[in-house]
């Protein structure tokens, strides 16, 4: 493991003795950052677990009790026996999975298209990354009112004048698909950028050698490009999973989790439990599920990063 071997800094080789002494003190320069991060991220994290043991409700000040395993059991059994929970969990996974698949397909396509020198390439690239930069709630507003609105939106024109059918409000007809579409639109550039970086790091000699061997474009893609891209694909998709599991703004603006709970995902449910029902205990129990899901993807991601460092390609 890379971390078990002390990596000598570039400088210790040139002046070991004085550097060692300076280093004894200066390595602690990272302490403030670490302490701050523990306070801002790890303390709340631990408190979430603690709260999930309680039946604390902000509306009932007497109910701040720590109930130990009983409290946790109560929170979790109530969540698990509620059929809504399974719908919400499914919504979260379905939304994330669909966005990942869609953005991978289109992201790969755009990356391949951009990986050729052609006039206007810089402009195309700039245009293609833009959706990712748009504030998610603003993107949601634009899609909801300017594009998908059944009477004033551009989609009304597409339905009536281009397709010649009655205008349909997609958000009402297919709420989850609308959310998936909007979120995918924003995340395609993310995947594209990472895969493009991967494509551009593919050594030219390898490409030329394969061409000399008479490999066609398809065989080249399957046998050379894809294996080289593997790490980039893993990194892009795992990071995307982590962040799309937390999608909130688009749902908040476009559907408010509805109709019913058709587009409620875990973050939106936690928001409702905490800030509409003020049920701290149950919101925290839901929070545990959000953390578990993100951690699965995170552990896989860190493994990819570690493996990559071991291979010494960095």
Partner 1 sequence: MIRSPALRWTLNVVTLLLAFLMIFPVLWMVLTSFKTETMAIAFPPQLFFTPTVENWVQSVFNGPLLEFMGNTALITVGSTLLAILLGVPAAYAMAFYRTERSDGSMLWMMSTRMLPPAGVIVPLFVLFRNFNLLDTHLGLIIVFAGMNLPLVVWMVTGFMEDLPFALIEAARLDGANLWQEFTSVLLPLLGPGLAATSLLALIFTWNEFFFAVNLTTRDASPLSVYVSTFKSAYGDLFLAKMSAAATAAVLPVLIAGWVAQRHLVTGLTMGAVK
Residue closer to partner 1 (CB basis): 98 or 245: 245
User: Is 183 a residue that touches partner 1 (CB under 8 A)?
Assistant: no
The helix or strand, by DSSP H or E, that contains position 167, with its residue range, turns out to be: none
- Tokens in use for 205? 């000699």
Residues 6+ away with beta carbon under 8 Å from 278: 57, 58, 59
- Quick check: 297 and 236 in contact, CB under 8 A? no
Minimum distance between the CB of residue 133 and partner 1, rounded to whole angstroms?
Answer: 4
Q: Give residues 135-154 in contact with partner 1 (rule: CB under 8 A).
A: 135-147, 151-152, 154
Among 245, 257, 263, 264, binds partner 1 (CB under 8 A): 245
Among 17, 21, 33, 214, binds partner 1 (CB under 8 A): 33
Percentage helix, strand, coil for the chain under 3-state DSSP, each rounded to 5 = 75, 0, 25
Residue closer to partner 1 (CB basis): 77 or 256: 256
User: Is 309 a residue that touches partner 1 (CB under 8 A)?
Assistant: yes
CB atoms within 10 A of CB 154: 11
Q: Give residues 58-97 in contact with partner 1 (rule: CB under 8 A).
A: none
Q: Give residues 97-116 in contact with partner 1 (rule: CB under 8 A).
A: 110, 113-114, 116
Minimum distance between the CB of residue 193 and partner 1, rounded to whole angstroms?
Answer: 5
What SS3 state is found at 60?
strand
Q: Give residues 253-292 in contact with partner 1 (rule: CB under 8 A).
A: 253-254, 256, 266-267, 270-271, 274-275, 280, 283-284, 286-288, 290-291
Q: Name the one range near partner 1 by CB under 8 A: 37-45, 68-76, 95-103, 171-179.
A: 37-45
What are the backbone dihedrals phi and psi of residue 102, each rounded to the nearest 5 degrees, phi first? -60, -45
How far apart, in whole angstroms, are the C-alpha atoms of residue 20 and residue 26? Answer: 10
Q: Name the one range near partner 1 by CB under 8 A: 67-75, 82-90, 169-177, 301-309.
A: 301-309
What are the backbone dihedrals phi and psi of residue 66, each rounded to the nearest 5 degrees, phi first? -85, 120
Number of H helices, E strands in the chain: 16, 0
User: Is 45 a residue that touches partner 1 (CB under 8 A)?
Assistant: yes
């Amino acid at each position: 493991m890379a971390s078990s071997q002390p990596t000598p800094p570039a400088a210790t080789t040139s002046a070991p003795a004085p550097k060692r002494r300076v280093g004894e003190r200066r390595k602690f320069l990272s302490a403030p950052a670490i302490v701050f991060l523990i306070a801002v991220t790890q303390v709340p994290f631990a408190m979430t677990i603690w709260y999930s043991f309680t039946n604390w409700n902000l509306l009932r000040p007497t109910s701040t009790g720590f109930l130990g395993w009983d409290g946790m059991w109560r929170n979790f059994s109530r969540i698990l026996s509620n059929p809504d929970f399974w719908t919400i969990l499914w919504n979260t996974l379905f939304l994330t999975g669909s966005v990942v698949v869609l953005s991978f397909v289109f992201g790969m396509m755009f990356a391949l298209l951009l990986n050729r020198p052609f006039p206007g390439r810089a402009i195309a690239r700039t245009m293609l990354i833009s959706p990712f930069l748009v504030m998610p709630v603003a993107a949601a507003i634009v899609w909801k009112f300017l594009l998908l609105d059944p009477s004033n939106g551009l989609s009304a024109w597409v339905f009536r004048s281009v397709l010649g059918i009655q205008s349909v409000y997609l958000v009402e007809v297919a709420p989850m698909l609308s959310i998936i579409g909007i979120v995918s639109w924003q995340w395609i550039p993310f995947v594209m950028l990472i895969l493009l970086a991967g494509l551009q790091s593919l050594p030219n000699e390898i490409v030329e050698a394969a061409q000399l061997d008479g490999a066609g474009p398809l065989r080249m893609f399957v046998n050379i490009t894809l294996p080289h891209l593997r790490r980039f694909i893993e990194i892009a998709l795992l990071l995307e999973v982590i962040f799309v599991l937390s999608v909130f703004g688009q749902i908040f603006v476009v559907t408010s989790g509805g109709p019913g709970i058709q587009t409620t995902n875990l973050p939106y449910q936690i928001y409702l439990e905490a800030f509409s029902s003020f049920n701290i205990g149950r919101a925290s129990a839901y929070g545990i599920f959000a953390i578990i899901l993100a951690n699965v993807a995170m552990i896989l991601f860190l493994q990819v990063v570690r493996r990559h460092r071991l291979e010494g390609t960095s």
